[in-house]
Amino acid sequence: MSHWSAIVGKPGTEKGQAAKKLAALLEARGFAVAGFVQDDVSDAAGKTVGWDISSVTGPAERGVLAREAAEADLCGYKFEPSGFQLARRLSQRAADVVIVGGVGKLEAAEQGHWPLLKALIDREPGPHVVACIRDTCLSAIALALPDPLDYVELPCDDADLERLAERLAAALAPPG
């Protein structure tokens, strides 16, 4: 069985919100869930000026991942090492399922969260990983990993997430 599944969507399709809903649905089915998502940070006009890392399940934790900067790392943003450290720590909690939010351009170039994502998927035995992937980066990510167990494409409704949770719960249930 594959060790990962995906939530795929265009920028702005609320992959993080879908991941948090899926985490709650899986917890309600008795699975321990850990991990993180990337939350947009916007200015007063609604323009994205960066991203924060936040935990998908309690206790709530949040930290800066990136902000707009003149001396940017990628696409006009400066990435903070402390954000990647927080993401790594949140993903190391004991869990059946780990959400890795924010898989995009950096990860397609095997940077950013890529080493964490790859290590979690390769770990034996390991948790089932749910990666929130930007649609334009899906092919690069998918080609570097084994085939996923399942996925949902955004936009989707709560019923789609419920069905994904049911399929994952059935696949992840202990035999017998």
pLDDT in tens, 4-53: 999 999 988 899 999 999 999 999 999 999 999 999 999 999 999 999 99
Is residue 51 a contact partner of residue 65, using CB atoms and an 8 Å limit?
yes
Q: Mention every residue, 6+ apart, whose C-beta is less than 8 A from residue 83.
A: 51, 52, 53, 63, 64, 65, 66
Residues 104-147 have pLDDT tens digits of 999 999 999 999 999 999 999 899 999 999 999 999 999 999 99
Cis peptide before 125, with omega less than 30 degrees from 0?
yes
Indicate if the pLDDT at residue 71 is higher than 90.
no
Q: How confident is the model at residue 58 (pLDDT cuts 50, 70, 90)?
A: confident
CATH of 4-169, one of 3.40.50.300, 3.90.550.10, 3.30.70.370, 3.40.718.10: 3.40.50.300
Indicate if the pLDDT at residue 59 is higher than 90.
no
pLDDT of residue 89: 97
Can you give the pTM of this predicted structure? 0.95
Q: Which amino acid, 108?
A: A
Specify the higher pLDDT residue, 158 or 76. Answer: 158
pLDDT of residue 70: 87
Quote the CA–CA distance of 35 and 54 in Å, as a whole number.
9
Q: How confident is the model at residue 2 (pLDDT cuts 50, 70, 90)?
A: low
Burial (CB count <10 Å: 0-12, 13-18, 19+), residue 47: exposed
pLDDT of residue 15: 96
Indicate if the pLDDT at residue 1 is higher than 60.
no
Quote the CA–CA distance of 68 and 147 in Å, as a whole number.
35
> Which residues is 4 bridged to in the sheet?
129
Q: In angstroms, how far is CA 90 from the centroid of its own chain? A: 11
pLDDT of residue 72: 80
> Which residues is 66 bridged to in the sheet?
51, 79
Count of alpha carbons within 13 angstroms of residue 126, beta-carbon side: 20
pLDDT of residue 23: 98
pLDDT of residue 35: 98
Domain boundaries in the chain? 4-169
Q: How confident is the model at residue 73 (pLDDT cuts 50, 70, 90)?
A: confident
